[in-house]
């Protein structure tokens, strides 16, 4: 390759062939299941077993979509959206003050609390299914949206606190000390310092 070669040719020759091959394989791993889901949704009941799993449906039908839309699909979608919004909101309401207190507090109890949050990450979700089920039934919350929200918040808070603690530790200590010298309380620091700096910032 000479120095007078076009830029696109130099980039092509410098390309990582092994990386490109791995990317193509990974693309297939991602796309094949999606393709299978789409074509399977267009098959009738007999087509599930009579044809190759990756073959195009013949004939294609939209009856499966019609049955889904007639089966209270939008009610289930609204319930899922409500559970997601409430779970995320409650998780942030609990986790941000907890992370702020752990980072800026001086009490040893707060550090022990942070260790408890770390311990919560070590407990596998599968090991708590039966205790959570018993608690939900004892509280008469079975078959309610609260039975989804409460465990969701409980399992999300430890990880969220750990992430926010590491993030809030990156806030310059000069800003914290300046607010303390101005007489700001912890709630004021949380509202005026930690919360604004915790929000996502758009790229320029």
Question: Does residue 131 sit within a domain?
Answer: yes
Same domain, 103 and 143: yes
Across residues 73-80, what is the average pLDDT? 92
Question: Does residue 204 sit within a domain?
Answer: no
Look at residue 164 and tell me whether its pLDDT is greater than 70: yes
Same domain, 101 and 194: yes
Q: Which residue has the higher pLDDT, 42 or 195?
A: 42
Spell out a b/e string for 111-139, using b for 16 or more CB atoms within 10 Å of the CB, else e: eebbeebeeeeeeeeeeeeeeeeeebeee
Same domain, 45 and 85: no
Query: Tens digits of per-residue pLDDT, 107-129?
Result: 778 778 778 777 777 888 788 88
Length of the chain: 204
Same domain, 85 and 132: yes
Structure token pair of residue 2: 């000479």
Q: Which domain holds residue 103?
A: 73-198
Structure confidence at residue 81 as a pLDDT band (50, 70, 90): very high
Give the pLDDT of residue 203.
Answer: 42
Same domain, 63 and 95: no
Of 70, 95, 119, the one marking the end of a domain is 70
Same domain, 51 and 86: no
Q: Which H or E element spans position 201?
A: none
Residue 78 is part of a domain; what is its CATH number?
1.10.3720.10
Of 54, 70, 86, the one marking the end of a domain is 70
What is the reported pTM? 0.69
Question: Does residue 2 sit within a domain?
Answer: no
Structure token pair of residue 67: 């049955």
Same domain, 35 and 124: no
Look at residue 197 and tell me whether its pLDDT is greater than 70: yes
The number of folded domains in the chain is 2
Question: Does residue 203 sit within a domain?
Answer: no
Query: Tens digits of per-residue pLDDT, 92-110?
Result: 899 888 888 888 777 778 7
């Amino acid at each position: 390759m000479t120095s007078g070669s076009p830029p696109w040719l130099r980039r092509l020759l410098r390309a990582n062939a092994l990386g490109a091959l791995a990317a193509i394989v990974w693309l297939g791993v991602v796309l094949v299941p999606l393709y299978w889901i789409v074509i399977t949704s267009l098959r009738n009941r007999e087509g599930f077993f009579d044809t190759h799993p990756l073959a195009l449906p013949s004939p294609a039908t939209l009856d499966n979509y019609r049955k889904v839309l007639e089966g209270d699909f939008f009610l289930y979608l609204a319930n899922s959206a409500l559970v997601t919004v409430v779970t995320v909101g409650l998780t942030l309401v609990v986790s941000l003050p907890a992370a702020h207190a752990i980072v800026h507090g001086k009490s040893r109890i707060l550090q022990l609390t942070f260790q408890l949050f770390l311990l919560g990450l070590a407990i596998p979700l599968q090991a708590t299914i039966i205790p959570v089920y018993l608690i939900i039934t004892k509280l008469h919350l079975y078959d309610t949206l609260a039975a989804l929200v409460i465990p969701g918040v409980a399992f999300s808070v430890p990880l969220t606190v750990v992430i926010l603690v590491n993030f809030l530790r990156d806030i310059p200590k000069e800003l914290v000390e300046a607010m303390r010298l101005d007489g700001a309380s912890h709630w004021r620091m949380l509202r005026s310092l930690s919360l604004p700096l915790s929000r996502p910032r758009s790229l320029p």
